[in-house]
Structure 1
Amino acid sequence: MPATTDLANAWFATRGFKPFAFQRQVWAAVERGESGLVHASTGSGKTYAVWLAALRAYARTANSTAKPAPLQVLWITPMRALAADTARALQAPLDDLELNWNIGVRSGDTSSAERARQARRLPSTLVTTPESLTLLLTRAQANEDFAQLRMVVVDEWHELLGNKRGVQLQLALARLRRWHPGLVVWGLSATLGNLEHARDVLLPAGGSLVKGRQDKRFVVDTLLPEAIERFPWAGHMGLKMLKQVSAEIDASESCLVFTNTRAQAELWYQALLEHRPDWAGLIALHHASLARQTRDWVERSLKQGSLKAVICTSSLDLGVDFLPVERVLQIGSAKGVARLMQRAGRSGHAPGRASRITLVPTHSLELVEAAAARHALAAGQIEARQSPRLSMDVLVQHLVSMALGSGFRPAELLEEVRSTWAFRELRDSQWQWALDFVCHGGSSLTAYPDYQRVEAHADGIWRVANERLARRHRMGIGTIVSDASIQLKYWSKGGGGKQLGSVEESFIARLKPGDTLVFAGRVLELVRVENMTAYVRRSTARKAAIARWNGGRMPLSSELADALVERLDAAAHDHFDGPEMRAVRPLLELQATWSALPTQHTLLAETFTSRQGSHLFLYPFAGRMANLGLANLIAWRVSRVQPLSVSIAVNDYGFELVSPSTVDWATYLPRALSTDDLLEDALASLNAGEMALRRFREIAQISGLVFGGYPAAQKSTRQIQASSGLFYEVFRKHDADNLLLGQARDEVLREELEIERLHRQLLKLSTLRLDLHDLRRPGPLAFALLVEGMRETLSTEKLADRIARMVADLEKVADAPNGRTRRGS
């Protein structure tokens, strides 16, 4: 057996590999006791760079007959589904080098027998999740459990960085660093656009930034449709491409077919089986709603190379290593460069192998997105992720967690908390509020024993003394709160109205009583929302909002949106580079003839008059959510000057406002796009109060205000919403300075309204020249928005018939001699 410092080279030699320079750089840094962040392409060897560094530095028990070393390395993974796969990857060098280390997994899927073994003695390396790590820290003997810990590895750091799970991990790492000031921490990431921020959040005291192999070759191509629609519309699932996709699968040994929603994955899986019945048993389906056993079988079969294709969602986005996968197909736009890279990296998952992804457009305009995505990827325009700041619900939960077991001293814990990036600006008053809140529920809950969770003892240590409250808290540790649906019922004064079904909660939260919506082909008026039920009655309104589920609303990223406008700008100057742009040229030339193409220096606006009223089409290319915010903001501002009723339709490129009365948009638009009073107007233009109430439910669960129930008696979302709603009203009326209320409002602004992106977009639009065109008929860009609006008044069958008639009429005009453009020109 070689000396421990040669372990890494010895193992690489057994596999016929030579270490890369970045791997040697990590090994040397760990030998010196340094922390860092490794950023390298998917499949380039990040895992073994850090793992072999740990073995070189800490594995001193080779060939020993003694017990395996106690916990030395903690390996954090963002998904418990990845934990077992990661453990298998880490085990290989231990077996080959005959090292007397053992590896264990601790997650929500770990058996009670294995938990009992770990309670007696933790393995040399533990693969776990942020939630399970916090649970381990609540044990009375936690300090002893982690006594010999030397290194923490955070895998897929980009998946944790931008959310509350990342904040929870920051706090847990702060506790481990206090016990071990020299603790070595390394993060692994492949798709980040703001590396310095990512490093600083993970390593507040500083660390190395190791940029590994970035020469990963991505082959991005597009499956061109047989015919280009000059009047495209979103909403179909892309099944017109079924024969072509089937042929591409047939020509591949093994591939992944990514979709953006579970419904789309189900539809494509069934369509492929109907098209190729002989593929039964050779293709499979994978998404998060499937049973764990089914997903495990699919993943094992992929690794063994026994499946020809798997139709999947983001459930297979992250680091599972499927070497046999030859290529990836993406149905519809990936909507972001990082997501495109992540999915492409599931193929060619090994150093030196190219990753190939083929984009399958579901409508013609996605050809432009495909060209933009390839250009953005080549230019390295990857989306940034920002860590949340001052998440008080996570801090409150952490205080109770640390009060379990051995407890904490407030001064020591404050220093620890402030050492994290997320809470580095925590004020003394905010800290005192958090202490008061866990001690007696703040100023409004002092009379309730269940909120007297933490007590200060005579020895100066704060502990959870009540075993019942301790048990409840352990069951609620974590920041993952599931999405919820709202039940729709007809309003009845006597109660007991007929139940219609359910819609997305965030959709209902945007509506105010009196607003209309479409459900099951009926136009309904919202009467009131109570707990988790929306009461409605029939309406005679002709236009209404229609619910769309989050998966179908995956917003276009700013980076991809900018790349998209670059491609359109080039087309406006008669440059059609690449097969996608040449294919979509007839559509773009028709848009330029009937109106204009958006450019990097103009803001395209179009007006059009129809029987429905006066239409405005505006194209900020801000993504669906920001465009919705802009549309509501403009409608709100104009309505204060000229009373009018406006209906809204939105897509990633722009929005449509329709008013029964004529509006002088040329006069109103420049004023409506001002950044003045943005915060107040944005809050007023949407039902921000109701949105904050819904957001507060998540905050109430994370902070422990609301208990989700015991495993055998889980509370329903309706019960949780009712409880959190009571707290919301109590705080609003009697404790207006409650920091959790303020956090709910801030999260609505940041995540629901995307207020920062909205502000940036308004600033950007102010630099552009308004290019306003009065249309005789809707062009390709406007047509896509018209369909979005019609979707709100027509059933699926009637919509398809109406669209077919409209397209036929518009194509006749476009092909006529005075249409000034011909198909294929």
Structure 2
Amino acid sequence: MLDAEIRKLLDKRSFDELSDTQEEAIPPIMQGHHTLCIAPTGTGKTESAMLPVFHKLLRDENRGRGFRALYITPLRSLNRDILSRLKWWCGELGLTVGVRHGDTTQAERARQSRNPPDLLITTPETVQALFMGKNLREHLKSVRYVVIDEIHELAGSKRGVQLSVALERIVEQAGEFQRIALSATVGNPEDVARFLCGERPYHLVNIPSAPRLSIDVKYAGGEFSSQAKFVSKLIDRNESVLIFVNTRTTAEALGQQLFDRGDVEVHHGSLSREVRIEAEEKFKNRKIKALICTSSMELGLDIGHIGHVLQFGSPREVSRLLQRVGRAGHRLDTVSRGTILATSFDDLVESLVIAKKATSNECEDVVIPENAADVIANQVSAMALEYGEIPEERIVKILGKTAVFNGFEPLLDRVLSQLEYHRMIRRDAGTVIRTGRCRKYMYSNLSMIHDEKKVKIFDILTRRTVGTLDESFVISWIHTGAVFVTKGQLWQVLAIEDGMVKVEPAVKMRGELPSWEGEQIPVPYAVAQESGSIRRKRKLGKYDADKVSENFILQFLDGMDHARSPVASDRLMTIEHYDEGVVMNLCGGHKANEALGRLISILLSARFGTTVGVEIGAYRILLRLPREIGAVDVLETINSIDPDHIRGLLEIALKRTAIFRWKVVQIAKKFGAIDADADYEKFSMHKLIDLFEGTAIQEEAFRELFSDYMDVACAELIVKRLVAGDIDIQIAPLSALGREGLTSSRDMIPPPATDKAVINAVKRRIENDNIILFCMNCRKWKSKTVVSRVPDDDIVCPVCGARLIAALKPYEEHMIDTVRRKDKSAEDRAVEVKMLRNANIVLSSGKKAVRAFAARGVGPDTASRIIGTFANGDQFYLEILKAERNYIKTHRFWN
């Protein structure tokens, strides 16, 4: 079927035979069918799509007139990888290829605008930019083929919704074109195919992953160092190992443990592009044996042969495990081999369930967002910019051809009204007209990924930046006096100013972890339920557990006192006392437990008029309660819940939460209601929430929270099962299962710093502070030094012998020029008086005064007060610290 030139190149590349994927996918694509190809990594999906496209490009008469094919990937790194793979083919076939994304140089963009390549490799966001340039828009009229790689990564997000609309906008420019998508295993392939094609007919190629998988589950409890030794031994037994972890923190910690081996590198999104590429190249060229990575390596980036995949800790989802283990082997005739290293009871049971589901090809569904209001706002603005003005009925037609908008006309009208209110568009007789704000908005909102600034944490004791916080956390949680945890230490907020959070170490206070709990990989309801059934049945026959794992699970369960503490399972919820509240053991998965946990905490708060803290896991809900609220009250609250009212109650309750406030801000930015670079320090969050009450912005915030963070449908199902008696509830003492949930975040936090340590930090910093000494007698001598080098006895001017020496901070040096002037204004004379007071205090108190003047915000009045307390030793430095705190908290209100 393929062109003779392509067949020659297949021989040149030693293609002895096609894979099952290629055998099944190439014919329908050659016949012009819209095609979704679902197949394991390493089975030649890219060639399945591109060989037919190359065949058609070679026979197309419109060469050189525009972009004839688009290849869209979710990541820039995949663009780079695909370019290196397709460049050879295009070069041999006489076709042109280019890549365009955020990192593409201005010169290359100009070249593409003048001489468009036949094949353009790009990202969903850059597709949006193609509509904005006159020449680029013209080039889109030539599009005949669009290939979307890793479509499962996009279909479940608003990036995918935006791309779905973009495809219909290309149809408006180019007419109908052939749609081809490549995907890893998904549970609902028909839905993903409809996401690609809308109502158009399609062909589905679905090659199961299971026959090519071999997955072992091993248990390694104990210390982290012993778990790292297990990893090290596995590296020794294999030629090349890809080690997946679930968080960047774990990646760095494991990398540190294995650093001395010399053949292990770390790869994750927080590292620079150069560092990541260097690690990839080292692995590909066999200079290292192992690469520790997060989801940064899940997609099909070519890093050479991978002998084995190790998943450190439960992968949480079947789809994630299939993606990760599928990286191993990477040859058509190879079985992909992987090991899950479980580190706790929950982790081990969950890993066995996920491994069994993976080898049975039971993958989670991709949940495709429907009627996302902020995407409508974004794409209406984009179409208004593209056409200048566009009839509303044409917008309805374009959106209606996608599978992601259904019955959306009333919502569209509300979105248009909101956009008009914020002067993004004008409406006139059924036509949408762009405004001046529209172009500025689109340039900063090409992507539906929410921008997240990093805010520096500045320690006033050491005067150093100690880390960063996500903007979401700052907006929602941080206020003067708040306590939070980062870098394993507690900090108290003194002020938010100058684009940073100013803090000091907190003593004996409880803090919040600086991230959303909801952003951990959520364990699905089905996985949590099956894990619960293992607890209940105590049988592991179908789970292929080795003897060590089986013995650990059975001994853990047998070791519980079943008379006092029954084992929570898929059919039993237990409510257990602990010293700060209760633990509800419930096998509901993260999202269902998130919905129920928030609901129960809100109902308890309303009933007792007190704050209730809540922490969520896949198998338990931890409630921090005052002493007057106990397990019986929690049980009564659960029994009072009507499943039909859960959604409504959560909407009321969520309005008061930090996560809802932040979600409203994110979505308001996508509506153009708040500028993308708006300063969070100036937000009045409560006024904003009131402003958007009852709008499409608020409605979208709820829709996103209920789909991305919570599973209200599963929460309703759990409550219905409780009402029907399918799930029992019992109150019990704290069990081993309940205790598993109490060692999460707090074990990571060391004991708070003592007062002595704080004082020592202030002392060290003051002694190392820069200071300027200036003679107020001769006004000639000036010396820049550090406090520790200032004499302990008399401080004397070497020029005139006087002891009238002012001590200035470096940023006060300009005052010296002021007092040296001959013609002084009234303002200059006030500065002179201040410096004379400074010098007199140093004259009377010596180096003690110099130490006081070195502190932030301490002038003559404050220095006099500190010295006037007659405090010495540690107490003196505590007085300095009090003064600095007071300055940081109040100076912005000074005249």
Query: Which TM class, normalised by the smaller chain length?
Result: 0.7 to 0.9
Shift of 1:245: 0.9
**1:425 Cα shift?**
2.0
User: Which of the numbers 688, 703, 708 marks the counterpart of 1:746?
Assistant: 703
Q: Secondary structure at the match of 1:239?
A: helix
Do residues 212 (structure 1) and 201 (structure 2) align?
no
Work out which of the residue numbers 217, 220, 235 in structure 2 matches 1:222: 217
1:104 aligned partner, one-letter code:
G
Cα deviation, 1:755-776, whole Å, max 9, x if unaligned, reads 344334433444533152533x
Cα distance in structure 2, aligned partners of 1:418 and 1:293: 43
Spell out, residue by residue over 1:604-651, the C-alpha distance to the aligned partner (whole angstroms, 9 max, x if none): 30434x6x36x5332222234542432332233345556666444433
> Any unmatched runs of 5+ in structure 2?
755-895
The letter of the residue matching 1:786 is L
Distance 1:455 1:103, change over 3 A: farther
CA–CA distance in structure 2, aligned partners of residues 197 and 531 of structure 1? 48
Amino acid at match of 1:566: S
What is the alpha-carbon distance in structure 2 between the residues aligned to residue 501 and residue 9 of structure 1? 56
1:173 aligned residue? 167
Contact map agreement 2:68 2:142 (CA 8 A) in 1: yes
The partner residue of 2:446 within 469, 477, 497 is: 477
Q: Quick check: 1:555–1:624 contact (8 Å CA) kept in 2?
A: yes
Q: 2:188 aligns with which of 185, 189, 194?
A: 194
Once residues 575 and 166 of structure 1 are traced to their aligned partners in structure 2, the CA distance between those partners, rounded to angstroms, is 37
| Cα displacement string for residues 549-583 of structure 1 (whole angstroms, at most 9, x for unaligned residues) | 65983322234323322332331799986212333
The alpha-carbon deviation at position 12 of structure 1 amounts to: 4.0
Q: Distance in 1 between matches of 2:441 and 2:499?
A: 24
Q: Which has the larger radius of gyration?
A: 2
Show the 5 A alignment for 1:659-738. 659=625, 660-661=627-628, 662-664=630-632, 668=636, 670-686=638-654, 688=656, 690-708=658-676, 715=677, 719-721=678-680, 729=687, 732-733=690-691, 736-738=693-695
Amino acid at match of 1:569: R
Instruction: Output the TM-score relative to the length of structure 2.
Output: 0.74
Specify the code of the residue in structure 2 equivalent to 1:415. Answer: K
Instruction: Letter of the 1:705 partner, please give it.
Output: A
* Aligned residue number for residue 532 of structure 2: 565
Is 1:32 the equivalent of 2:31?
Answer: yes
Aligned to 2:316: 335
1:617 to 569, 583, 589: 583
**What's the offset of the Cα at 1:599?**
3.6
What are the residue-to-residue correspondences of 1:568-607 with 2, within 5 Å?
568-571=535-538, 578-579=545-546, 580-591=549-560, 593=562, 595-600=565-570, 602-607=571-576
Q: Secondary structure at the match of 1:562?
A: helix
Q: Output the CA distance in 1 between the equivalents of 2:525 and 2:443.
A: 39
Structure 2 residue identity aligned to 1:651: G
SS at match of 1:222: strand
Using the TM superposition, give the Cα deviation of residue 591 of structure 1 relative to its aligned residue in structure 2, in angstroms: 2.8
Shift of residue 165, structure 1, vs aligned partner:
0.5
**CA distance in structure 1 between the partners assigned to 2:198 and 2:10 by the alignment:** 33
Letter in 2 for 1:703: F
Q: Deviations over 1:165-220 (max 9, x none)?
A: 00110111001223344311011111311111111111112311111354552221
Choose between structure 1 and 2 for higher RCO, CA contacts under 8 A separated by at least 6 residues: 1
Q: Which residue of 2 aligns with 1:819?
A: none
How far has the Cα of 1:68 moved from its partner? 5.8
Q: Is residue 87 of structure 1 aligned with residue 68 of structure 2?
A: no
Q: Distance in 2 between matches of 1:73 and 1:679?
A: 45
Partner of 2:719: 762
Aligned equivalents of 1:539, 1:323: Cα separation in 2: 48
Describe the SS at the equivalent of 1:652. Answer: coil
Amino acid at match of 2:273: R
Higher mean C-alpha deviation, range 561-570 or range 77-86: 561-570
The CA deviation string for residues 718-742 of structure 1, in whole angstroms up to 9 with x for no partner, is x44367758x846844x75532232
Equivalent AA in structure 2 for residue 152 of structure 1: V
Q: 2:242 aligns with which of 235, 256, 261?
A: 256
CA distance in 2, matches of 1:199, 1:685: 37
**Contact kept? 2:376, 2:412, Cα under 8 Å:** no
Q: Which moved more, 1:506-515 or 1:378-387?
A: 506-515
Correspondence 1:405-416 to 2 at 5 A: 405-410=386-391, 411-416=393-398
Residue 677 of structure 1 aligns to a residue in which SS? helix
Shift of 1:436: 4.6
* Aligned-partner residue type, residue 258 of structure 1: F
Q: What letter corresponds to residue 727 of structure 2 in structure 1?
A: R
With normalisation by structure 1, the TM-score equals 0.80
Quote the residue 1:812 is aligned against.
Answer: none
The residue number in structure 1 matching 2:22 is 23
Give the superposed CA RMSD: 4.0
Deviations for 1:338-381, whole angstroms, at most 9, x for unmatched residues? Answer: 11111112211222212122212233432212211211212322
Partner of 1:76: 72
Structure 1 residue 93: Cα displacement: 3.4
Q: Which amino acid aligns with 1:190?
A: A
**Given residue 747 of structure 1, which amino acid in structure 2 is its aligned partner?**
E
Number of the residue aligned with 2:358: 377
- Does the C-alpha gap of structure 1 residues 342 and 532 become closer, same or farther in structure 2, counting only changes over 3 Å? farther
Pairing 1:480-519 to 2, within 5 Å after superposition: 480-484=449-453, 519=485
Which is worse superposed, 124-133 or 553-562?
553-562
**Counterpart-to-counterpart distance in 1, 2:495 and 2:362:** 45
- Cα deviation digits, residues 572-603 of structure 1 (max 9, x gap): 79998621233332112113646333343x22
Q: CA deviation at 1:147?
A: 2.6
- Residue of structure 1 in register with 2:268 after alignment: 287
Which letter maps to 2:558?
E
Question: Which of these residues, 738, 742, 767, is aligned with residue 786 of structure 1?
Answer: 742
Verify: 1:115 aligned to 2:109, yes or no: yes
Distance 1:671 1:524 in 2: 39
**How has the CA–CA distance of structure 1 residues 789 and 103 changed in structure 2, closer, same or farther, with 3 Å as cutoff?**
closer
Q: Check conservation: 1:323, 1:347, Cα contact below 8 A.
A: no
Instruction: Out of 661-670 and 71-80, give the one that drifted further.
Output: 661-670
Q: Which moved more, 1:49-58 or 1:13-22?
A: 13-22
The verdict on how the C-alpha distance between 1:771 and 1:49 changes in structure 2, with shifts beyond 3 A counting, is: same
Q: Deviations over 1:130-182 (max 9, x none)?
A: 11011001222445302322110111001101111001101110012233443
CA contact (8 A) 1:104 1:123 kept: yes
Secondary structure of the residue aligned to 1:740 is helix
Cα distance in 2 for residues equivalent to 1:575 and 1:452: 59
Q: CA deviation at 1:675?
A: 1.2
What are the residue-to-residue correspondences of 1:335-484 with 2, within 5 Å?
Answer: 335-410=316-391, 411-427=393-409, 429-438=410-419, 441-442=420-421, 445=422, 451-453=423-425, 464=434, 466=436, 470=439, 473-484=442-453
- Paired with 1:672 and 1:785, the residues of 2 have a C-alpha distance of 25
d(CA) in 2 for partners of 1:358 and 1:554?
19
Residue identity matched to 2:185: T
CA distance in 2, matches of 1:377, 1:774: 35
Q: Which runs of 5+ in 1 are unaligned?
A: 230-235, 446-450, 491-496, 709-714, 799-825
1:512, distance to aligned residue in structure 2 (A): 11
In structure 1, the partner of 2:100 is 106
Preserved contact between residue 12 and residue 19 of structure 1 (Cα < 8 Å): no
Structure-2 separation of matches of 1:18 and 1:592: 60
How far apart, CA to CA, are the structure 2 residues paired with 1:416 and 1:381? 35
Residue identity opposite 2:408 in structure 1: L
Choose from 121, 130, 141 the match for 1:127: 121
Does the CA contact (< 8 Å) of 2:113 and 2:135 recur in 1? Answer: no
Query: Would you say the 8 A contact 2:356–2:543 is kept in 1?
Result: no
> Is the contact between residue 163 and residue 387 of structure 1 (CA under 8 Å) also seen in structure 2?
yes
Conservation of the 8 A alpha-carbon contact between 1:191 and 1:341: yes
Give the one of 157, 161, 165 matched to 1:163. Answer: 157
Any idea what SS the aligned residue of 1:586 has? helix
Q: Retained in 2: the 8 A contact 1:454–1:462?
A: yes
Task: Give aligned-pair identity as a percent.
Answer: 24
